Amino acid sequence: MRILFVHPNYSAGAADIAGNWSPAWVAYVAGYLKSGGYEDYHFIDAMVDKLDDDQLRAAIREIEPDIIATTAMTPMIYAAQRLLQVAKEERPQAITVLGGIHATFMFQQVFGEAPWIDVIVRGEGEAVTLNLVRSIDNSGWPGQRDQVKGIAFLGDDGEVVATPAEPSIKDVDSIWPDWGILDWKKYIYIPLGVPVATPNMARGCPFTCSFCSQWKFWRDYRVRDPKRMVDEIEELVKVHGVGFFILADEEPQINRNKFVAFCQELIDRDLGIHWGINTRVTDVMRDEELLPFYRKAGLVHVSLGTEAAAQLNLDRFVKETTVAQNKRAIQLLQENGIVTEAQFIVGLENETRETLEETYQMVMDWGADMANWSMYTPWPFSDMFAEMGDRVEVFDYSKYNFVSPIMKPDNIDRAELLDGVMANYRRFYMKRMFFQYPWVRDPFRRKYLIGCIKAFLKSAMERRFYQLGKQNYWGPMFKKLIKFDYDKSRAKIVEPDHNAWKKAPPAKRPAVAATGAAPQACAGPKACGGGDEQMTEEQIKQYENA
């Protein structure tokens, strides 16, 4: 049973400006298959290798796979669908498989657009994929496919069939990735010039931010054993030469005891590796006394979900933070030698040139080392997408990439919005490049920040940053020439209400789930093993002290 994993050829010109990120999904799924007795698998990174259809066809012919699998977040869904179309044309007898968060929730639409896809893996992929491969290997496809939990497929009558959800993997330490499936010379972190990895310490998130859907996808919040996690880091360093990693967790500091134990294990083993995280402002403030310890463990870069400069939008995003806390968190990190990155979400209907200017003035006041302005992207399965209603006018999911304006503000047009964001980037990084980075006293921080600006300038010169080349943006004098090229033929598809379980009384939630509205075909996340409400302070303390 030969399995081919392929990463779609799609780049948004956002996070990837820092280098080519190692696709962790394939390592974790492959490793789980290996533990289940399947080792004949191969990987093609069509994005990093920039493969066109003909090159992909040639690679498929050479490998002759029995199963061809890919994944997709929302912006890469069309690339993934096209990839599997090419795969089916080239090798009709192979089973084509799609996983990832978009297909998990939008499988009805995906099958309507791409009927050549044989099966969709819904939710956490390792156990579902292993069970699917076993079924195919034991001649259970297609006759017994309805017995595989956590998948969707087109039935014999052309109707979409979704099987009951596969339980989440409670023992996350049982998932051991096969990082050897990757060609590590391709995945270089430009600021430091070393291979970069994106491992998982925890899965899921106990918070329910209105613009995010990760908490729905993973359902439960589960944390790995710190020593087991550092075993994986040690393998990445000693076997694959990795010199930098970013924890791909939604919220790495929630379980404070395990995060501290993880840091202590890194210190004890003295692996000489640096790393970064995305985290909450409140966790930085909570762990003020631990920040020197975190820095000793190699933590050098923290991206903070500051999200908005206006308290109104912070409340709207259900961030449960204040503007003053954002500033304090940045100061604390910098006092401890950790590079700080402030992240802003812009482009809602109340955005103006004045509010964009406010984010710039505020981040300058905060003194953040780096800043990132992302266009608000309403995932079609998030709470805010439903709340926005008719304000969402663009349904071309390839543009749901954090750099294309999906929403149209009431008082400025999309071109003005893009120009305002670019003005913030120009001013911020020009000042940092000439007046801050070269004069940083700490040698490592100076090297790191100068490396970051090199990556930024490289992508800007290549017109990849923010997809400026595709959007035809050359500066404020050329706003009228900007073209976003939205595919206007793509209309809104009415999918089941993924938030219906929130609106139903507990006694009625099983009936709501029967409609397919609840995540993973469960009666709300609680029935799937997760929580259906924002965490209480008491619950947060339980996670911190677990």
| 291-337 pLDDT, tens digit each | 999 999 999 999 998 755 444 444 554 445 678 888 999 999 999 99
Neighbours of 485 (CB within 10 A): 12
pLDDT per residue over 246-295, tens digit each?
999 878 998 999 999 999 999 999 999 999 999 989 999 999 999 999 99
Query: Which residue type is seen at 535?
Result: M
* Rounded Cα gap, residues 99 and 101, in angstroms: 7
DSSP 267-291: HHHT---EEEEEE-HHHHHHTGGGH
Residue 542 has pLDDT above 80, yes or no: no
Token pair of 28, please? 């974790």
**389 burial via Cβ count (<10 Å: 0-12, 13-18, 19+):** exposed
Mean pLDDT, the chain, rounded, equals 87
- Return the DSSP state at 211: T
Answer whether 317's CB lies under 8 Å from 211's CB.
Answer: yes
5 forms beta bridges with 43, 69
Which of 78-82, 448-452, 504-508 has the least mean pLDDT?
A: 504-508
Q: Identify the three-state secondary structure at position 427.
A: helix
Give me the helices (H) in 273-342, please: 281-286, 291-296, 311-316, 323-335
* Rounded Cα gap, residues 6 and 187, in angstroms: 16
